[in-house]
């Protein structure tokens, strides 16, 4: 379980970089003279690369083992973080964010692989939720604490410190993670990957992920703080504090939902359905939130938004259960790729809405959130199709949909 614990800690980097760009958006945008659409593209560079690499990263973890895949990818992450800290212009910053996406691409699928090999099936969803809980601590650090660091030392110096931490993780990876001969647990071919992508039984999982996870990643990644600043009228520091509630909700929700599915219902059906239909409702409420209301009334709503996204552990667990043995990392990569590529599409689209309607116009933010609500509804319909069309596999607990 040491390999899983390391990957869970490494997963903190993914969420730190995902959330930290929201803090960097204002000072970086001013210094590099970047419009909202360009900031969306800067954020999307991470999501596109990270998302696109989830499938090959998962396959390489299945093929090569954790040590080589994660160790060398973290080295690339060090280079990307250093380049971002030293970026003289927007083009360099976009390239740097892409390199960071490469650098952290293997830790989530690596955690799923380690759990598939070491954990009992009855605990897979629970421990995968615990992985998200640990990983999302990075998201919390990337919000308010990172905002304090940027305010005190500028936006470049904290990134240099982050690069040093990433370098330390890379060194530890080469020392403690097992290689392919001791940890691969079987091999997977590119033919198997192609078959999984085209499998009719997995497509409902993709649709579910588009709706449930794509809007959340896009919003929390860059637009949550500007939304709270412009639409609700909060200063940037307070907005960053409230924005961190999205991550807190996801942090606790993933573990709780996995545990409930494993230990209470013995099935993903009830918690997954509840999350799928609550999700578009919370986006609609955020879009229509009256400016006259106390901003602190948003606390439970932001928490609930994050909690519903925790159902990702059930999507991954159920998808793994109906997939060929030895492909846990590959299948996890497929699900995660859909989530991040959806977010990468929605982020610049939201930025375009702001550029057309005005970045300081609350109506522009409301329009963007209504778009997210529609996408979330697609995920609700995907869950319905998933539950109707997917037979209950012969595995325990949350991997079972019925």
Which string of b and e fits 123-149 if b means at least 16 CB within 10 Å?
Answer: bbbbbbbbbbbbbbbbbbbbbbbbbeb
Residue 22's φ and ψ, nearest 5 degrees, are -65, -35
Q: Distance between terminal CA atoms of the chain?
A: 29
Model confidence band, residue 236 (pLDDT cutoffs 50, 70, 90): confident
Cα Rg of the chain, angstroms: 20
Residue 85's φ and ψ, nearest 5 degrees, are -65, -30
Question: Would you give the DSSP letter of residue 234?
Answer: -
Torsion of Cα atoms, 46 then 340 then 353 then 156, to 10°: -20
CA distance 52 to 54: 6
Give tens-digit pLDDT for 306-316: 999 988 899 88
Model confidence band, residue 55 (pLDDT cutoffs 50, 70, 90): confident
CA distance 41 to 39: 5
What are the start-end ranges of the E strands in 246-383? none
Position 184 scores a pLDDT of 46
**For 2-178+196-391, which CATH superfamily applies?**
MFS general substrate transporter like domains (1.20.1250.20)
Residue 238: other Cβ atoms inside 10 A: 17
DSSP letters, 325-388, are TT-HHHHHHHHHHHHHHHHHHHHHHHHHHHHHH-TT-HHHHHHHHHHHHHHHHHHHHHHHHHHH
Position 193 scores a pLDDT of 65
Give tens-digit pLDDT for 270-282: 898 999 999 999 9
pTM > 0.75: yes or no: yes
């Amino acid at each position: 379980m040491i390999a899983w614990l390391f990957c869970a800690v490494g997963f903190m980097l993914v969420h730190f970089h995902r959330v930290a760009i929201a803090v960097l958006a204002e000072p970086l945008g001013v210094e590099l003279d970047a419009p909202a659409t360009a900031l969306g593209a800067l954020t999307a560079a991470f999501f596109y690369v990270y998302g696109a690499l989830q499938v090959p990263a998962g396959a390489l973890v299945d093929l090569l083992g954790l040590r080589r895949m994660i160790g060398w990818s973290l080295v690339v992450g060090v280079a990307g973080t250093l380049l971002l800290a030293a970026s003289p212009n927007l083009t360099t910053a976009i390239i740097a964010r892409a390199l960071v996406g490469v650098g952290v691409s293997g830790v989530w699928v690596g955690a799923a692989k380690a759990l598939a090999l070491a954990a009992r099936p009855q605990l897979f969803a629970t421990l995968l939720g615990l992985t998200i809980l640990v990983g999302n601590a990075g998201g919390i650090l990337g919000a308010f604490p990172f905002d304090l660091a940027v305010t005190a030392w500028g936006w470049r110096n904290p990134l240099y410190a982050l690069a040093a931490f990433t370098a330390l993780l890379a060194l530890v990876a080469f020392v403690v993670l097992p290689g392919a001969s001791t940890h691969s647990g079987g091999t997977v071919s590119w033919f198997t990957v192609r078959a999984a992508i085209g499998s009719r039984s997995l497509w409902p999982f993709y649709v579910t992920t588009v709706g449930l996870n794509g809007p959340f990643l896009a919003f929390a990644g860059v637009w949550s703080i500007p939304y709270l600043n412009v639409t609700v009228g909060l200063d940037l520091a307070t907005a960053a504090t409230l924005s961190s509630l999205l991550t807190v909700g996801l942090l606790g929700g993933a573990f709780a939902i996995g545990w409930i599915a494993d230990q209470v219902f013995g099935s993903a059906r009830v918690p997954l359905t509840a999350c799928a239909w609550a999700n578009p409702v919370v986006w609609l409420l955020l879009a229509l939130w009256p400016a006259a209301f106390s901003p602190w009334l948003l606390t439970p709503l932001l928490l609930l938004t994050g909690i519903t996204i925790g159902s990702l552990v059930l999507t991954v667990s159920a998808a793994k259960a109906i997939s060929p043995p030895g492909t846990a990392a590959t299948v996890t990569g497929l699900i995660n790729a859909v989530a991040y590529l959806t977010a990468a599409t929605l982020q610049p689209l939201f930025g375009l809405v702001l550029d057309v309607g005005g970045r300081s116009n609350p109506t522009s933010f409301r329009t963007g959130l209504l778009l997210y609500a529609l996408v979330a509804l697609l995920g609700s319909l995907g869950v319905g199709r998933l539950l109707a069309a997917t037979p209950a596999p012969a595995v325990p607990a949350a991997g079972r949909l019925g």
